[in-house]
């Protein structure tokens, strides 16, 4: 299937690690140009060099995305380099464990600043370019937005707001042909997830307990599977899909937990 995204310019936030890295690689594999916006300079530049060695173009912009000014900087630098933006893939964030009991009003606001505000900032500053390209936006959310998790009010609130903004922007941007969708992962093995698993007394047993509750294959979703959905959504093949929440989770959120016992 030809996705029709060759040479298109796509900003991928947090694009050097975890799910973002998977998205960056998939975008490049399909012949588009990923612009990695991240504060992780070493991994970002290393990924760009690796892709270039494979004949793929990529570009890294070092930026702390909790800063409104840095978000504007990412957009301006992308436009200076390439003169266009065809897709914005909002992905950067961290499940920081700011809960109702364990947190504070100050930490809650900090969590929103780390996980939510830059989704709006980047969309706002990219809007003129996206209008010109009739591009698209994909917001990476989380199952915590619809299931809750416990002890993560800031992150869950941010992820829920991202879903609300997905629908809101899909409506507002209809006149410009800009499509807006959200991808919702559940259990995906990333460096951050691995770090969390390793906080348990028996990480292997905890991981087994989690995967037993994933109906399809009793395994974690891979970052490549998330990336494939994202790249499809920004492609011409998804030209009539907007305002949708796509769960890529092996049935984790919606299928009956009784299925955990099936092989």
| pLDDT tens by residue, the chain, 263 residues | 889 999 999 999 999 999 999 999 999 999 999 999 999 999 999 999 999 999 999 999 999 999 999 999 999 999 999 999 999 999 999 999 999 999 999 999 999 999 999 999 999 999 999 999 999 999 999 999 999 999 999 999 999 999 999 999 999 999 999 999 999 999 999 888 888 899 899 999 999 999 999 999 999 999 999 999 999 999 999 999 999 999 999 999 999 877 666 65
Counted domains in the chain: 1
Among 117, 119, 121, 155, the active-site one is: 155
Asked if residue 183 is part of any domain, the answer here is yes
pLDDT attached to residue 260: 65
Q: Is the pTM of this model over 0.85?
A: yes
Q: Is residue 30 part of a domain?
A: yes
Residue 196: predicted pLDDT? 82
State the pLDDT at residue 1. Answer: 81
In-domain check, residue 198: yes
For residue 4, give the nearest of 238, 172, 254 by alpha carbon. Answer: 238
Would residue 155 show up in a list of annotated catalytic residues for this protein? yes
Report yes or no on 2 lying in a domain. Answer: no
- pLDDT value of residue 120: 98
Domain ranges, residue 77? 9-261
pLDDT given for residue 193 in this prediction: 87
CATH number of the domain to which 20 belongs: 3.40.50.720
237 falls within a domain: yes
pLDDT of residue 238: 98
């Amino acid at each position: 299937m030809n996705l029709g995204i060759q040479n298109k310019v796509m900003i991928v936030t947090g694009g050097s690690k975890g799910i973002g890295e998977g998205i960056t690689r998939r975008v490049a594999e399909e012949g588009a140009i990923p612009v990695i916006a991240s504060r992780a300079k070493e991994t970002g530049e290393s990924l760009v060099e690796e892709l270039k060695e494979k004949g793929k173009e990529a570009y890294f912009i070092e930026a702390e995305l909790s800063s409104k000014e840095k978000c504007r900087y990412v957009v301006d630098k992308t436009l200076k380099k390439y003169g266009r933006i065809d897709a914005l893939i909002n992905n950067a964030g961290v499940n920081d464990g700011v809960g109702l009991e364990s947190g504070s009003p100050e930490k809650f606001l900090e969590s929103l600043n780390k996980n939510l505000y830059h989704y709006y900032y980047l969309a706002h500053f990219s809007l003129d370019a996206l209008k010109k390209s009739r591009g698209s936006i994909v917001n990476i959310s989380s199952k915590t937005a619809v299931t809750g998790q416990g002890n993560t009010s800031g992150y869950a609130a941010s992820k829920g707001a991202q879903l609300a903004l997905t629908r809101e922007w899909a409506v507002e941007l209809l006149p410009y042909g800009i499509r807006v969708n959200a991808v919702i992962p559940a259990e995906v093995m990333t460096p951050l997830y691995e770090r969390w698993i390793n906080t348990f007394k028996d990480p292997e047993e905890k991981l087994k307990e989690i995967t037993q509750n994933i109906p399809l294959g009793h395994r974690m979703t891979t970052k490549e599977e998330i990336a494939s959905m994202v790249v499809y959504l920004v492609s011409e093949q998804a030209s009539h899909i907007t305002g949708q929440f796509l769960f890529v989770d092996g049935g984790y959120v919606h299928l009956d937990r009784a299925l955990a016992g099936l092989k």
